[in-house]
């Protein structure tokens, strides 16, 4: 059956990564992880890493070629212009990589007898907007702001002011909730059983989502490619005759 692509996003420290892990480990749902793709594209010596090093030499180790993520984070967090420049370096490669993986799963879905659910885990799904046109539904992992602050303090050793700055630098969680087709509330402190139950309900919901968006887009693209190839053959034949 055709691919059912679900977009997964959420606020910082809301538990999106935990939800993604449960989907993969307990429900065996393939995950297209945008954060992991970014890390692959920013590996030592990779073209994106070299470009970042040319723009901000202090952000790349001159010996190992390793990206200094904390340094880069400080640079772009404090400067909107730097964030735009970094986006200019990264967005094209990220888009092409995600699109190629969607296509790969779309192809596999053609041979599946059940709905073939794949999750696109993307922190900025709504901010960048592009892939919202590909997904059949969106899931937001959310929690209270106080819980976000607690988790950032425990996980990232952030003070309250720094944690608030990080939260406020993102799209408001209320806006993400409003845009979502389904919201997983993750306020319970370390209650993985409750979160796992919420994810089970979400998986049942995912399987019932429509499949028209990705199928239509990819199918249309393939049809266009076939049409272009056919036209090229016809024109080429006339030129050679």
Q: Is 18 helix (H, G, I), strand (E, B) or coil?
A: helix
Write the CB contacts of 113 (distance below 8 Å, at least 6 apart in sequence).
Answer: 1
The structural domains of the chain, with segments of one domain joined by +, span 3-240
pLDDT tens-digit map of 66-105: 999 999 988 988 788 999 999 999 999 999 999 999 999 9
- CATH fold label, 3-240: Rossmann fold (3.40.50)
Sheet of strand 137-142, all strands in order from the earlier edge strand to the far edge: 31-33, 116-121, 3-10, 137-142, 182-185
The residue that leads in pLDDT, 225 or 34, is 34
- Rounded to 5 degrees, what are φ and ψ at 231? -65, -40
**pLDDT for position 241:** 39
pLDDT at 65 over 70: yes
pLDDT tens digits, residue range 113-147?
Answer: 777 899 999 999 999 898 998 999 999 999 999 99
- Contacts for 77 with CB less than 8 Å, ≥ 6 apart: 83, 165, 169
Place of tokens 């993102």: 170
Asked if 113 contacts 1 with a C-beta cutoff of 8 angstroms, the reply is yes
User: Tell me, what's the pLDDT at 237?
Assistant: 44
Query: Using one digit for the tens of pLDDT, what is the confidence trace for 154-187?
Result: 888 889 998 898 898 899 999 999 999 999 999 9
User: Any idea of the CA torsion for 93, 96, 99, 105, to the nearest 10 degrees?
Assistant: -90
Tell me the pLDDT tens digit for each residue of 16-35: 999 999 999 999 999 999 99
Q: Distance between CA 1 and CA 106 in Å, rounded?
A: 9
216-176-134 Cα angle (round to 5): 10
Of 142, 138, 141, the C-alpha closest to 125 is 138
């Amino acid at each position: 059956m055709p691919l059912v692509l679900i977009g997964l996003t959420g606020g910082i420290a809301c538990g999106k990564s935990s939800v993604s892990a449960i989907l993969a480990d307990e429900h065996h749902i393939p995950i297209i992880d945008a954060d992991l793709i970014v890390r692959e594209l920013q590996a030592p010596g990779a073209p994106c890493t070299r470009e970042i090093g040319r723009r901000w030499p202090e952000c790349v180790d001159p010996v190992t070629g390793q990206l200094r993520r904390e340094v880069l984070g400080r640079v772009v967090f404090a400067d909107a212009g730097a964030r735009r420049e970094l986006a200019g370096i990264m967005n094209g490669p990220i888009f092409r990589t995600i699109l190629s993986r969607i296509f790969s799963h779309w192809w596999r879905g053609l041979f599946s007898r059940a709905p073939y659910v794949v999750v696109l885990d993307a922190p900025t799904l709504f901010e960048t907007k592009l892939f919202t046109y590909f997904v059949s539904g969106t899931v937001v992992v959310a929690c209270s702001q106080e819980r976000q602050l607690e988790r950032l303090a425990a996980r990232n050793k952030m003070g309250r002011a720094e944690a608030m700055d990080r939260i406020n630098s993102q799209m408001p969680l209320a806006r993400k909730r409003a845009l979502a087709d389904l919201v997983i509330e993750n306020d319970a402190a370390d209650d993985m059983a409750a979160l796992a139950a919420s994810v089970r309900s979400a998986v049942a919901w995912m399987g019932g989502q429509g499949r028209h968006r990705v199928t239509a887009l990819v199918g249309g693209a393939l049809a266009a490619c076939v049409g272009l190839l056919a036209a090229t053959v016809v024109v080429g034949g006339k030129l050679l005759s």
